Structure 1
Amino acid sequence: MSKTDVQPSSIEGIKRLAKAISKRDSISHNKALDTASQASGFGNFQHARRSLTAYSAESAPARHAVYISTFWRDGQTRTSGRETIRVFLTMPLDELIKPSQYRYAHKLGRFRRHASDHVIDEYRPDSANAALARTCGAARVLQFMDITGLRPSKARVEPRGGYSARLTGHDHGSVWYDPVAKHHVGADEPYAASVASKIAERNTWARQHNWSLAKPEWAGMYYPEGSSELYLYADASKGYSLDGLLKVLAKAPSPIVPENCARVATDDHAPFVTPGEKAEAEAKLARDVQRKAPSPRGPKTTVEYRLPLSGKRRRRPKAAMPVDAHVRIGTLLKGVLTDTRARAGVYKRVDAVRSELDDWVQCEHDRQAMSDAVFFDLYYGEHSAGGTSKAGEQHIENLRLAQSVLMQHYPDCAPLRELVGKIDLAVRSLEKLR
């Protein structure tokens, strides 16, 4: 027997077989890995690696605790309580299943995500035993997904012909999707007594439709403690094999049932907080504190002031430009304003700049540093001579000079940038008049 005819059951075995196939068929190692994996019953090497390492002792998978809770209330005795169990998975809950997928997951459809490690039942059974059974059922679904890598699906899995061609004796079915092989898989979980007499018919159904039908060693999700049995089926004509799923299910821990579950002792009337809930609450508190923290009174480069007449609060640069610099800028601005009264695009913007600077200078200097005579003639009192377009180039030069003086004496801040921007717009208007 050729060593390439062997069907390995481990990753190392698949790698050894791939080397032989690569040498025999002169193909790349990656392609040989996929071929060897398919010979072992997997879709490709990624599928084999995921399946064979999920529960192997050598891989030592990470253990992520997930808590499952169901509240119950007995209407006759008026007693109530909660059943909570803990399960360990190889990946975090939110990576295993999305909140939108719960509704499609067998026995998990009435549960909702409460935290990153806690799911809670929306249904309220009438006894503690019923609550524990529901909680264990949800745990088995998470367990099945974690073992197989399958994800819940709302698709229909049956041969052509619809309902009339469905699997004989089909009961308690669910549909799953293999994200690696990109193929749907059906799960059928009838009771052992009801399906015993239909085994031959079911096998005939599989042969007629060219579908795979197999019974894993793992007892199943629906009601394993009550003699339900798990069968998997898929369309073999499309090249999908159930062998990989059967192998990982054979190595998996027994399904979680009330007799072997890890119950969490809690006070039924006190809040039960999981580590994930606590972490999320602390993160939310930190965000709230940061959001509600008092904002600074303003940047270090600005200071608040009130307008003389309206009393409105505004901000100005946290600096005092010398009076002679104010005088120089005022002279430049007034010269532009005198010649551009008929040019609204220029006049209004330059007028806004001088109005702002007139407010700033009053905050920066008192009467000892600046007499009333100087102040009154600082930014206002320009001559009312008629405008002329001859001085356009000179006005642009004067406005740029005014910008330069402002940026020389004031720190970079929002109020200064606003004034500089208005001067830029005035210059653009002048440039259009050339």
Structure 2
Amino acid sequence: MSQSYTPPSTLSGISRLAKKLRNERGIAHKEALEVVARIAGFENHAHAKRQLADRVSPLKLVPLYLTVYWHDQNDRKASGRCTAVVCLPEENFATLPILKARGYWMLGGFQLESTDHLQAMMDGHSYRHAQKRITDAVRTLQFCTATGLTPIRKIADKRRVQFLQDLPGQDHRSDWIDSSGSWLTLDEPYHPRSNEKGTERGDWLAKHGLGMTTPAWAGLYVPGESIPNLVSNSPELLQRTTETVERLAPLPQIDWDTHSGGYWSDFHSPQRIASGKPYRPRPQPSYGERAGALPYGGRPGVASEWRPATAMSLQQHRNLGFILRGLSWSNLSSRVVDQLIRTISTLDDWANYEHPDEASNQIDGLYYGGDRAKYATLGDLLKGVHDARVLILSGYLECRPRRDFMKVLDLVARDASKIAQKRVA
């Protein structure tokens, strides 16, 4: 490690140096925070936050803007854009990029539209619901910043805690992980759950070598009405988190009115304006044919999917389903099988849109259930791929959805050939 860096002595200093290190080395912001924390003489970033929390004086507060668009389900004429502003310590802003994971929205469905603006992707179903989502997001951000925990996202980590689904009496469970890889579960039932010896829950926890605490804290899910229980196999993490949440600051005051507006209006935060970069609106559903394809599905916050504008006959769909079911049961890698399964689901959607007047039992049997092709050799499988290509080319005209499907078939052929070569070798 180069000693040319001046060890920072504040959390904001750690954050600034982490950004510099991230850009210099091309590493993730979370990793940069860990490196800089060690430069500053701490075990890790979570340790630095605990040690430096009391040294930040005076506390610098920075405005964070949060937006939720809403449509009232009980009054179709009532809608709007709820943009709230809350002033939080700077360290909360360093946490935001860490919470963002590829393929996931953060803090209950928000995206980081700008460094000072969180925008919900999906509509709220009332103004009150919009307020609740914003309040929940602020509360969760405080929790993540103080504890150093982030939601479990990786499949491998989810498998590690999958056994917790059998935790007796669990309700409103959320799973968290810290920078060391230790996990913690927050279980928030409406009624207390005893952890005394001799109880069903106590016996289950003891059997799996787990500890549990019930801190003097309101929790994240319906604070004041649910009972927060912390469960972990790490006594150190359990104790540290319990002490941290019991010291959490109360929810700060939120300004609901100054920046709110109409449903079709946009909010450009100060940092978005200062950056000179264009505002990034939410995805919206599409309409009308485009380059031989038609949109379907979609809603505010979720872009439409696309399907060929031409329709394939039911018999062609039935033949294609027979082939694809066989391919998905063949000797292919799990990655390719997963892609095939997603493709089968997509084709099932296309068939439903192309033949809306057909009985559901006729449509449901096209791609799910029933018999399937059997491919004993690589040659048989490649012929199945060829037959699927012929069906798609004869059933659909040229368009991007058709090209995407052909790429999946190419992937299947390459994967099958690769596996066959390994067997020979």
TM-score (norm 1): 0.46
Higher Cα radius of gyration: 1
TM-score (norm 2): 0.47
